[in-house]
Structure 1
Amino acid sequence: MSDSLHFVCPHCHTTNRVAREQLGNAPDCGSCHQPLVTGEPVALDAASFAKHVGRSQVPVVVDFWAPWCGPCRSMAPAFAQAARALAPEVQLAKLDTEAHPQAAAPYNIRSIPTMVVFRDGKELGRISGAMGAADIERWVRSVV
């Protein structure tokens, strides 16, 4: 019997059960039939944030950011590059704290950008400040 895990679709946010060894084989969502692993950061709102963080058994790294934040905007390309490098073992996501403050509030985000690693609904680690892609990858791998 294969070891399966829950993976939340980046498109429709439906929870899928996927065999761990199949993550690298481009599995599709059972609901919307889009690719589950995109290698791109997922834009989250309050509802999808709760689903990805609470249901995914794959680590989810959330970049808490805001559009007016210069360091957040300058880190965005590096975050996207890290998303490609870390897929499919880790899903990277972005939460706009300006548009969705109610989702960020319980995590006491005091400065942005702040990245938080979650697995199975639990916070594993956090770091604040803009980072390059290699530093993001190194930090995520050290936490997960």
Structure 2
Amino acid sequence: MTDPLLVACPHCQSLNRVPAGRLDARPDCGRCHQPLFTGQPLALDAPGFTAHVERGQLPVLVDFWAPWCGPCRMMAPQFEQAAAQLEPRVRLAKVDTEAQPALGNRFGIRSIPTLALFHHGRELARQAGAMGAADIVRWTRAQLP
């Protein structure tokens, strides 16, 4: 039997213990009773980043972007499609580098869009530039152990 994973709630950020074999069973948060997986990317601020990336145990693919960036806006619907395909095994999240400059600086984001894949709080891989949904899914799966 595998140990349960800590999964942060996309609504209230509380951590939930979910057996790995039950991720596909559409679990709800024990605190707010909302679904733990929505099939949509989450917008993260610093506390959300801590909950999902640093404390949560799911891999998290983060799109570092900005509202004024044309390629970022073009990639947004592709990123949403990738979220629907990758959840619940990978959480997808977005960090607006204009609204959250400290997070962009912390990870040395120099160009946007930049995708960074994290697992157990550690960055596993990074890819700069806009990508289509199929490429996002393929790239993410190729980076996971």
TM-score, reference length from structure 1? 0.97
Matched residue SS, 2:11: coil
Tell me which moved more, 82-91 or 50-59.
50-59
Given the alignment of the two structures, is residue 12 of structure 1 paired with residue 12 of structure 2, yes or no? yes
Letter paired with 1:112: I
> What is the match of residue 126 of structure 1?
126
CA distance in 1, matches of 2:143, 2:51: 21
**CA deviation string 1:65-89 (max 9, x = no partner):** 0000000000000000000000110
Q: Which runs of 5+ in 2 are unaligned?
A: none
Structure 1, residues 11-65: CA drift from partner, whole Å, max 9, x if none?
A: 1111111000110000000111100011110111111112211011110000000
* 2:53 aligned counterpart, secondary structure: helix
**C-alpha distance in structure 2 between counterparts of 1:100 and 1:111, whole Å:** 15
Higher mean C-alpha displacement, 115-124 vs 3-12: 3-12
Matched length: 144
Structure 1: gaps (5+ residues): none
Given the alignment of the two structures, is residue 44 of structure 1 paired with residue 44 of structure 2, yes or no?
yes
**1:93 equivalent in structure 2:** 93
Relative to structure 2, which stretch is displaced further, 3-12 or 128-137? 3-12
What residue in structure 2 maps to residue 83 of structure 1? 83
Give the deviation of 1:2 after TM superposition: 4.4
Task: Please list, as runs of the form range in 1=range in 2, the aligned pairs for 1:100-119 lying within 5 A after superposition.
Answer: 100-119=100-119
